[in-house]
Chains A and B, each alone.
Chain A
Amino acid sequence: MRDRSTLTRSLPAKAAVVVLAVLMTASCAVRTTSMLRDPDTVRIALNGWVGYEADAAVIEHLLEHELDYQVQIMQIDEQPAWQALDQGAVDVILENWGHEDLMETYGPNGNDTVVDGGPNGNIGHIGWYMPRYLTEEYPGIDTPEGLKEHADVFRTDESGDKGQFLAGAPGFVTSDQGMIDHYGLPLSIVYAGSEAAQLTAVRDAYEDEQPILFYSQEPSWIMEDLDLVRVKFPEWTEGCDADPADVSCDYPKYDLNKIYRKGFATEDSAAFRLIDAWKWRNTDQNVVAGLIARDGLEREDAAAKWAADNKDVWRPWIPEDAAK
Chain B
Amino acid sequence: MATDTGTPQRATPAAPAPPPAGPATALLRARPVQAALLTVLLFAVVFGAYAAFGSLPTRTGLDLGLGAQLDRLYAWVVANRNASPLFLYGFNYLSVGLGSAVILIDQGLTLLTWPGVVVLGVFTAWRVAGWRVAAYVAVTFAVFGVLGLWEQAMTTLALITTSVLLALLAGIPLGIAAGRSQRFYRLIRPVLDFMQIMPAFAYLMPALLLFGIGNPSAAVVTTVYAIPPAVRITAMAIRNVDPGAVEATTSLGSTPWQLLTKVQLPLAKRTILLGVNQTIMLAMSMVVIASVIGAGGLGDAIYQALSKANVGQAMEAGLAIVLMAIALDRVTAAAGDGTRTPAIPERLRLPVLGAGVLAAAVAALAARLAGATAWPAGWELSIAGGVNWLNEALQDLVGDATKALAGATLNWVLDPLRAVLTDSPWWLVVIAAFVLGRLFGSWGTALTGGFAILACGLLGAWEFSMDTLSQVLVAALATVVIGFAVGILASRSDTFAALLRPLLDAMQTLPPFVYLIPAVALFGVGRIPALAAAVIYALPPVIRLVDDGIRGCSPSAVEAAVAQGSSRWQLLTKVQLPLARSSLLLAVNQGIMMVLAMVVIGALVGAGALGYGVVFGMAQNLLGLGLTSGLAIVGLGLFLDRVTQGAARQERTAHA
Which residues of A are interface residues toward B (Cβ below 8 A)?
23-24, 28-36, 46, 48-50, 53, 72, 74-80, 83-84, 86-87, 89-90, 105, 110-111, 156-158, 160, 166, 169-171, 190-201, 204, 292-293, 296
The interface residues of chain A, by DSSP majority, are classed as mixed
B96 CB–A CB distance under 8 Å: yes
Which residue on A lies nearest to B409, using beta carbons? A157
- Interface segment among B33-41, B87-95, B116-124, B254-262: the answer is B87-95
Query: A137 vs B388: C-alpha distance in the bound complex, in angstroms?
Result: 33
B131 CB–A CB distance under 8 Å: no
Q: How many residues belonging to B are interface residues under a CB distance threshold of 8 Å?
A: 68
Query: What would be 15 A-B contacts, judged by CB atoms less than 8 Å apart?
Result: A30-B89, A31-B92, A32-B87, A35-B99, A35-B100, A74-B294, A74-B300, A84-B294, A89-B294, A90-B213, A110-B79, A191-B612, A193-B603, A194-B306, A201-B524
| Cβ–Cβ contact A292 & B82, under 8 A | no
Which residue on A lies nearest to B313, using beta carbons? A296
Residues of B within 8 Å of A78, CB to CB, are 619
Do A111 and B612 contact each other (CB < 8 Å), given the known contacts A36-B104, A194-B306, A195-B307? no
5 tightest CB-CB pairs across the interface, nearest first? A171-B619, A158-B526, A29-B88, A84-B213, A30-B92
Residues of A within 8 Å of B527, CB to CB, are 158
Could you say which of A24, A74, A200, A296 contacts B385, with CB atoms under 8 Å apart?
A: A296
The interface residues of chain B, by DSSP majority, are classed as helix
Can you add 15 more A-B contacts, CB < 8 Å, to A170-B612, A200-B521? A30-B89, A35-B95, A35-B100, A49-B307, A72-B296, A75-B307, A83-B208, A111-B79, A157-B407, A158-B526, A170-B615, A191-B612, A196-B517, A204-B399, A293-B308
Do A158 and B212 contact each other (CB < 8 Å), given the known contacts A30-B92, A76-B294, A80-B294? no
| Cβ–Cβ contact B308 & A292, under 8 A | yes
| Cβ–Cβ contact B619 & A75, under 8 A | no
| Cβ–Cβ contact B88 & A30, under 8 A | yes
Query: A32 vs B308: C-alpha distance in the bound complex, in angstroms?
Result: 32
Which residue on B lies nearest to A201, using beta carbons? B525
Residues of B within 8 Å of A166, CB to CB, are 525
A4 → B minimal CB distance (Å): 24
Query: A35 vs B98: C-alpha distance in the bound complex, in angstroms?
Result: 9
Could you say which of B85, B92, B520, B619 contacts A32, with CB atoms under 8 Å apart?
A: B92
Residues of B within 8 Å of A49, CB to CB, are 307
B440 CB–A CB distance under 8 Å: no
Which residue on B lies nearest to A221, using beta carbons? B308
| Cβ–Cβ contact A192 & B605, under 8 A | yes
Query: A50 vs B307: C-alpha distance in the bound complex, in angstroms?
Result: 8
Query: A50 vs B208: C-alpha distance in the bound complex, in angstroms?
Result: 25
Query: A29 vs B86: C-alpha distance in the bound complex, in angstroms?
Result: 10
B575 CB–A CB distance under 8 Å: no
B469 → A minimal CB distance (Å): 18
Residues of A within 8 Å of B291, CB to CB, are 75
| Cβ–Cβ contact B620 & A50, under 8 A | no
Residues of B within 8 Å of A195, CB to CB, are 307
Q: Tell me the chain B residues, 502-531 only, with Cβ under 8 Å from chain A.
A: 516-517, 520-521, 524-527, 529
Residues of A within 8 Å of B87, CB to CB, are 32
Q: Which one of A83, A190, A191 has the highest number of Cβ atoms from chain B below 10 Å of its Cβ?
A: A191
| Cβ–Cβ contact B410 & A157, under 8 A | yes
Residues of A within 8 Å of B310, CB to CB, are 296
| Cβ–Cβ contact B212 & A89, under 8 A | yes
B473 CB–A CB distance under 8 Å: no
Query: A30 vs B79: C-alpha distance in the bound complex, in angstroms?
Result: 16
Q: Tell me the chain B residues, 93-121 only, with Cβ under 8 Å from chain A.
A: 93, 95-96, 99-100, 103-104
Residues of B within 8 Å of A72, CB to CB, are 296
Residues of A within 8 Å of B388, CB to CB, are 296
